[in-house]
Structure 1
Amino acid sequence: MTIFPASAMAAILFVSLNPELEGRWGGELDVGAAQLRIEIVLDESDGSWSGELISVDQGNARVPATSVTVEGDRVIIELSAASARYEGTLTPNSQLDGEFEQVGQTFELDMARMAQPAETNAPPARYDNDRDIRVLNGEVTLAGSLRLPEGANTVPGVVFISGSGPQDRDMTVGEHRVFLTLAEHLADAGIASLRLDDRGVGDSAAITPHHPQDIADDMGAALTELRLQPDVNGQCVGFIGHSEGGSLAFMAAGSSAPDFILSLAGMHASMADTLIEQGEAIVRASGGSDADVAAQRAVQDVVMTALRDTPVGEAGPAIEAGLIEAGLPEQIARQQAMIWGQAYAQNALDLDPAPYMQAYPGLFSALFGGSDLQVLANVMSERIIAARGALPTRVSTLAGHNHLFQLEASGLPTGYTTAPHAMSPEALATIVEEVQNLIDMSCQ
């Protein structure tokens, strides 16, 4: 069962109140071939309800609710982006007994209230220094926020580039706002930052990217816009890319010429290699056997073969048929085909980032999390060193940190939302110091 990330903002309906429903709920969805951990967050404000579904075992994919209806002890959550619906009833022992419907199939999904993290480490809400920004790249318009230091006057600046999938400008993961947290710390160090809603998120244009270069071009336009801001030193700007954003920064560099690039847990390999490596790492860290790893790889091979052997944009039917033949239920195969059958996935699958890394002559620094299971620090570091050769490059690893640079030793995606902070204090200090070093060396 695949839960789709949504590109639309959550809609809110005005409904009756039941404060006992508010909060975070967790349960396990048994779809036969797999058990998926599901979380639902319900929030009531001024008489209206909003909600969000999180698929924990699918990289914490988030689906904002199209509507939330509360009728006494009963809650109905519509999730149109996933063609899904959840209906649950609050029991006397404070649980939700309910059913999850998707693609014409119904699954039992009972949920228990989850404790909130003891500490969120959220940054101070100093929005007075945020400036609304619009970035134009041809017919694409991206909405964003420029965070400026107090009393900003021609300060250096960076553009944040998010990783795979549509994300909001704050890179919100559960209750954590990763980019917003980092932006606040950079501002405290005298560095401006521009963070953007990806295509299809927030107020940005809902124009589907067909190739990673499409997103890279968006980011190049963002760097150009950053240079034009009156409070920013246009001669000292760079990229900070997270995950796939690390590779996209190099692809954007050809046309935008950043003064420096910082990669955070960067995907400096093809998508195919990265998926294979992270798949095995997560299966083994979850207690899986060699047979489980082989089964995971077999499913990956089905998808990747279909992507490689069909015309761009036409892989969906081949993926669905191959997964059904491999033994997956039809509804799961259909959902996977809808995700992986997109042109972007086909164009990104075997794209080698090494030539882009070799073509950029400027200063580059890469920081990895030692516990990261999505981007493996050792193998990615080796690829960077091999590609960059004698070009100015620094690679380092923070022990005990996961893909989001939270201090979380397991590295499993389940830790992203349960960690007590968006990024650890050590990681924030290290990243800010690294950006400052890049500025000092490249902006003389």
Structure 2
Amino acid sequence: MRRLLIFLLVLCGSAAAQPAAVVGDWSGTVEGTGLTTVFHITETDGVLSTTLDVPAQGAMGVSTGETTFDGTTLTITVPAVNAVYRGTLEGDVITGELVQGQPTTLNLRRVSDGETAGADVAEENVRGEAAVATAPLALDEPKAPFPYQAEEVRVQSVEGVTIAGTLTIPHGAGPFPGVVLVSGSGAQARDSDVAGNKLFYVLSDYLARRGIAVLRYDDRGTAASTGDYGAATTADLALDAQAVAEYLATRSEVESVGIVGHSEGGAIGPIVAVASEAVDFLVLLAGPAIPGREVIQYQLSKDIVGAGLAPEATGAYERGIASMLDALASGDAETAADRAAAAYAAEVDGVDMSALQALGVTSERVGALASGLSDPWMRYYLGYDPALALREVSVPVLALFAARDQQVRVRGNVEAAVDALAGAPEGTEVVVLPNLNHLFQPTQTGAVTEYSTIRQSYAPAVMDRVADWILDLQP
């Protein structure tokens, strides 16, 4: 999910206090992902601001939350992914961690004048789609010849939001079934580049080769799309997906329109299908079917619960996280983070938490986590139940889950999806696929840290299943 994936970073902000020492360009690699990240820190009238480049994902000059520096410690909040970067400056090196539930090492070095910040350079390929010159290719990176045409499109969503995307139309006589690809959480460009694997680029290429038109797009406020991603909720993003689906339905080359949604996109798809008559079918890839509150509780607790610690400490931590989420989901938004941190502290007060502190779960980090989780998206998501829209869906649904998914786990979600889709039309299927992770890659463990080590996007059998199901629906 969006707030729990470290490779979807976007950073920026403001604060005062001895800024000059950290002003400049800083480059490092997020441990476990292999992604080079570059922070560009500037100062205006004593106020710091930061933009981020992730060249391998085509994300350049992206702005975000708050930056502070007290003379020793640099702190950058990351509201868009509910994380905080905190590092200690020593000369031209910042030794630090990205805290997002669990800490992840991200050490930075100052980039000298004239040096290229980051090894990967984005460029345009002959089809006008984003390419990365030096990033390692996934084994399934699409290769010429391309039996389809690619067209740049612009779609007006709500006021102030224009969605940019790429429509791939198969060669030959149409019309064709068409799909809109809706990405998982986190501000993503149209290729949905996750840990070096361009999920939607690979999927759109495959589906187009099978005779299915595909429209993939940049999330609002990302790459060529306009708008403010950081202020958007799932409901807002559903309006963008609806506008794109309704646009695709106007194309003469397309005979039917479906949504293929991955992760949060799998929650957005049903919302759009209920709201718009343009949607004829849904494919949900690891789409959550249980309330968002349960998903986040699981994400923040699973590693601690499985660490073999004393039951008293584990229980206090779980109660603390539950109370923290309760505080975040209710009351005044301005005070949500402080109330959440206080709620956690009250639950663990008097309990020996030294074992958790040894794992890095300190009161400071919990406070930083609470701050990162207090944005509009999270507050909305904590109160959202995807099953409500699933029950109202009146089009066929293919819901695929991955057996080793550690983000949208099978247990609970599959049962909820089966129950919610009991009244869905003929052709609806709920399927669990073995030996795959959240990205539907072949996996040993399913761990997030394994994503970047697997040089493959969607497993071919997954793409086969999706294409076969879509084509079988057509008259």
With normalisation by structure 2, the TM-score equals 0.68
Partner SS, residue 332 of structure 2: coil
Q: Distance in 1 between matches of 2:60 and 2:88?
A: 13
Residues 66, 154 of structure 1: CA spacing in aligned structure 2 closer, same or farther, 3 A cutoff?
Answer: closer
Q: CA deviation at 1:239?
A: 0.7
Residues 269, 432 of structure 1: CA spacing in aligned structure 2 closer, same or farther, 3 A cutoff?
Answer: same
Q: Distance in 1 between matches of 2:294 and 2:391?
A: 19
Q: Distance in 1 between matches of 2:62 and 2:431?
A: 42
Residues 237, 167 of structure 1: CA spacing in aligned structure 2 closer, same or farther, 3 A cutoff?
Answer: same
Residues 319, 362 of structure 1: CA spacing in aligned structure 2 closer, same or farther, 3 A cutoff?
Answer: same
Q: What residue is the counterpart of 2:447 in the other structure?
A: 412
Q: Distance in 2 between matches of 1:150 and 1:117?
A: 29
What root-mean-square deviation, in Å, do the aligned CA atoms of Structure 1 and Structure 2 show? 4.1
**Equivalent residues in 2 for 1:206-225, closer than 5 Å:** 206-208=227-229, 209-225=231-247
Q: What residue is the counterpart of 1:163 in the other structure?
A: 184
Total equivalences in the alignment: 381
Q: CA deviation at 1:122?
A: 1.4
Cα distance per residue 1:394-443 (max 9 Å; x no partner): 11111000100000031111121111201222222222222223x32xxx
Q: What residue is the counterpart of 1:134 in the other structure?
A: 154
Alignment match of 2:322 (pick from 284, 301, 308): 301
Residues 41, 207 of structure 1: CA spacing in aligned structure 2 closer, same or farther, 3 A cutoff?
Answer: closer
Aligned 8 A contact 2:7 2:194 in 1 = no
Residues 84, 424 of structure 1: CA spacing in aligned structure 2 closer, same or farther, 3 A cutoff?
Answer: same
Q: What code does the residue aligned with 2:265 have?
A: G
Q: What code does the residue aligned with 2:157 have?
A: N
Q: What code does the residue aligned with 2:458 have?
A: M
Q: CA deviation at 1:241?
A: 1.0
Cα distance per residue 1:260-313 (max 9 Å; x no partner): 11110111111111223344555567x555747546523421321212331356
Partner SS, residue 401 of structure 2: strand
Alignment match of 2:377 (pick from 344, 348, 355): 344
Q: What residue is the counterpart of 1:145 in the other structure?
A: 166
With normalisation by structure 1, the TM-score equals 0.73
The sequence identity of aligned pairs, in percent, is 26
Alignment match of 2:290 (pick from 230, 246, 269): 269
**Equivalent residues in 2 for 1:363-374, closer than 5 Å:** 363-374=396-407
Q: CA deviation at 1:25?
A: 4.8
Partner SS, residue 440 of structure 2: coil
Q: CA deviation at 1:248?
A: 1.2
Aligned 8 A contact 1:212 1:348 in 2 = yes
Residues 137, 51 of structure 1: CA spacing in aligned structure 2 closer, same or farther, 3 A cutoff?
Answer: closer
Q: Distance in 1 between matches of 2:321 and 2:220?
A: 27
Cα distance per residue 1:58-116 (max 9 Å; x no partner): xxx9986779xxxxxxxxx9989667779899xxxxxx97534899xxx99499x9xx9
Cα distance per residue 1:206-262 (max 9 Å; x no partner): 3245542221121111111111223222xx111111112112111111222211111
Q: What code does the residue aligned with 1:421 have?
A: Q
Residues 1:319 and 2:340 aligned together: yes
Q: Distance in 2 between matches of 1:404 and 1:364?
A: 19
Aligned 8 A contact 2:167 2:214 in 1 = yes
Q: Distance in 2 between matches of 1:130 and 1:108?
A: 37
Cα distance per residue 1:26-69 (max 9 Å; x no partner): 65xxxxxxxxx5744279xxxxxx95399xxxxxx9986779xx
Residues 348, 66 of structure 1: CA spacing in aligned structure 2 closer, same or farther, 3 A cutoff?
Answer: closer
Q: What code does the residue aligned with 2:197 have?
A: H
Q: What residue is the counterpart of 1:229 in the other structure?
A: 251
Residues 418, 173 of structure 1: CA spacing in aligned structure 2 closer, same or farther, 3 A cutoff?
Answer: same
Q: Distance in 1 between matches of 2:60 and 2:303?
A: 26
